[in-house]
């Protein structure tokens, strides 16, 4: 009941901040609601154990069945949540959602005849719960989804942002441990307390992410950039250099004026994806504000930064060749190496690359978009 109360508080708070356009938040809320059902159903069913009377027997049957229906929904939703966090691909998510729906429906339909077949569970004449012959195969299938998801996280760890990785792993750990204890030691109802702990970990992560992440591009925001640089400067030796890259989108206002802000959002999201694929996972990428982006990368000399910028520009060229969008992506870039031993503070270094960026933006080749827009 305490776990259910905690989840209800999370659900209320999430609904106040809920953005229905964000797939990740929708999947997270489904997990919260499902786990509330599991906690309440399990608590009520256990409280009715060995209590005589037809009404108590009926309630025990209903809430135990409800728990069995909710188990696959929770495990499969967790799989979808991880899948989306790894690939950020709506089409792939939709494909797997279509595959999961019949599996969840089939799992639910097994419960209906259980009152007569007792394949999953049995309530005897004393209203005492007993596991049926299909209990272990049923739980094993759901459990295998958790294990598969866990290894999927490990296998794709390079595709996951470093600060996303640990919370996703820790979701599985308490769930698996408490589920094993509940299966092996009958009478200890810890499974859904374990998943509540796991959901709470994810919730704390989401709250932290909201503070430090740009909601549209899912890149770090300016606040997180300032914190990162402060930490970076404190934790590094004075002679350790790093590269700073600043860029903004050419003719971004013209795109918004010609096709609307929805097209402008598409441009920002497309650039964010190219940035994430062009730079290493450990390098810091942030949306600085509006259509400006900043990358902080490890580098020992200016050639390291130049090579990274060239890679990024090649990715943009490839995107423009293969994209079916009515607009082309073009950016102006300023970059340099920053040496803390020089005595120049970071704000001055940032102003320096900002000036370099606007110097590139002033070149005629930096504004080819007007002709391409046909305006």
Check whether residue 244 and residue 321 sit in a common domain. Answer: yes
How many domains is the chain partitioned into structurally? 2
Q: How far is CA 259 from CA 256, 321, 323, 326, in A?
A: 6, 20, 17, 9
Check whether residue 190 and residue 276 sit in a common domain. Answer: no
Half-sphere exposure of 258 (CA within 13 A, CB side): 14
Check whether residue 184 and residue 281 sit in a common domain. Answer: no
**pLDDT tens digits for range 311-352:** 999 999 999 988 878 788 889 999 999 887 777 777 888 888
- In whole angstroms, what is the distance from residue 167 CA to residue 316 CA? 32
- In whole angstroms, what is the distance from residue 15 CA to residue 182 CA? 31
Cβ contacts of residue 109 below 8 Å, gap of 6+? none
Average pLDDT over residues 149-157: 89
Check whether residue 140 and residue 196 sit in a common domain. Answer: yes
Q: What percent of the chain has pLDDT over 90?
A: 22
**pLDDT tens digits for range 91-114:** 888 888 888 888 888 878 888 888
Check whether residue 170 and residue 285 sit in a common domain. Answer: no
Selected residue with higher pLDDT from 324 and 9: 9
Burial status of residue 118 (CB atoms within 10 A of its CB: 0-12, 13-18, 19 or more): middle
Check whether residue 198 and residue 227 sit in a common domain. Answer: no
Does some domain include residue 327?
yes
Of 152, 181, 212, which one is at a domain's C-terminal end? 212
Residue 364 pLDDT class (50, 70, 90 cuts):
low
Q: What is the CATH number of the domain that holds 106?
A: 1.20.1070
Complete DSSP assignment for 121-159:
EEE-TT--EEE-TTHHHHHHHHHHHHHHHHHHHHHTGGG
Does some domain include residue 345?
yes
Check whether residue 180 and residue 289 sit in a common domain. Answer: no
Confidence at residue 373, expressed as pLDDT on a 0 to 100 scale: 32
- In whole angstroms, what is the distance from residue 245 CA to residue 42 CA? 54
Selected residue with higher pLDDT from 344 and 123: 123
Selected residue with higher pLDDT from 176 and 250: 250
Confidence at residue 370, expressed as pLDDT on a 0 to 100 scale: 31
Does some domain include residue 217?
no
Average pLDDT, the chain: 83
Check whether residue 226 and residue 330 sit in a common domain. Answer: yes
Half-sphere exposure of 132 (CA within 13 A, CB side): 19
Name the residue range of residue 264's domain.
222-373
- In whole angstroms, what is the distance from residue 264 CA to residue 370 CA? 15
Is the confidence at residue 228, as pLDDT, over 80? no
Check whether residue 83 and residue 113 sit in a common domain. Answer: yes
Residue 22 pLDDT class (50, 70, 90 cuts):
low
Is the confidence at residue 259, as pLDDT, over 80? yes
Q: What is the CATH number of the domain that holds 234?
A: 3.30.70.270
Say whether 245 sits in a helix, a strand or coil. Answer: strand
Q: What angle do CA 99, 105, 110 make, to 5 degrees?
A: 130
Check whether residue 258 and residue 352 sit in a common domain. Answer: yes
- In whole angstroms, what is the distance from residue 173 CA to residue 75 CA? 13
**Strand extents, DSSP E, 250-349:** 284-289, 292-298, 331-338
Confidence at residue 18, expressed as pLDDT on a 0 to 100 scale: 56
Check whether residue 66 and residue 117 sit in a common domain. Answer: yes
Check whether residue 53 and residue 187 sit in a common domain. Answer: yes
Is the confidence at residue 361, as pLDDT, over 50? yes
């Amino acid at each position: 009941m305490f776990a259910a109360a905690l989840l209800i508080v999370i659900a209320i708070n999430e609904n106040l901040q809920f953005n229905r356009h964000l797939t990740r938040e929708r999947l997270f809320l489904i997990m919260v609601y499902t786990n509330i059902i599991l906690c309440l159903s399990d608590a009520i069913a256990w409280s009715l154990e060995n209590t005589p009377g037809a009404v108590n027997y009926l309630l025990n049957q209903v809430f135990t069945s409800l728990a069995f229906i909710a188990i696959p929904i929770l495990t499969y939703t967790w799989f979808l949540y991880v899948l989306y966090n790894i690939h950020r691909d709506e089409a792939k998510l939709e494909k797997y959602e279509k595959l999961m729906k019949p599996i969840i429906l089939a799992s639910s339909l097994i419960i209906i005849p259980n009152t007569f077949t007792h394949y999953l569970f049995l309530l005897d004449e004393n209203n005492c719960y007993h596991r049926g012959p299909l209990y272990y195969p049923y739980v094993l299938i759901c459990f295998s989804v958790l294990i598969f998801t866990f290894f999927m996280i490990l296998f794709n760890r390079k595709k996951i942002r470093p600060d996303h990785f640990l919370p996703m792993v820790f979701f599985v750990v308490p769930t698996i441990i408490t589920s094993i204890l509940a299966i092996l030691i009958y009478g200890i109802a810890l499974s859904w307390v374990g998943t509540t702990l796991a959901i709470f970990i994810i919730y704390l992560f989401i709250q932290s992410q909201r503070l430090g992440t740009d909601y549209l591009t899912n890149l770090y925001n300016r606040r997180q950039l300032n914190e990162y640089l402060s930490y970076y400067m404190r934790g590094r030796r004075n002679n350790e250099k790093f590269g700073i890259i600043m860029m903004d989108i050419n003719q971004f206002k013209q795109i918004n004026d010609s096709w609307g802000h929805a097209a402008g959002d598409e441009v920002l999201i497309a650039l964010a994806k190219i940035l994430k694929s062009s730079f290493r996972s450990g390098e810091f990428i942030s949306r600085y504000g509006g259509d400006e982006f900043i990358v902080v990368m490890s580098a020992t000399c200016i050639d390291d930064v130049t090579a990274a910028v060239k890679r990024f520009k090649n990715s943009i060229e490839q995107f423009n060749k293969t994209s079916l969008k009515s607009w082309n992506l073009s950016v102006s870039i300023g970059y340099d190496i920053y040496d803390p031993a020089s005595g120049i503070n970071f704000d001055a270094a940032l102003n320096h690359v900002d000036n370099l960026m606007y110097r590139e933006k002033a070149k005629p080749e930096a504004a080819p978009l007007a002709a391409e827009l046909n305006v």
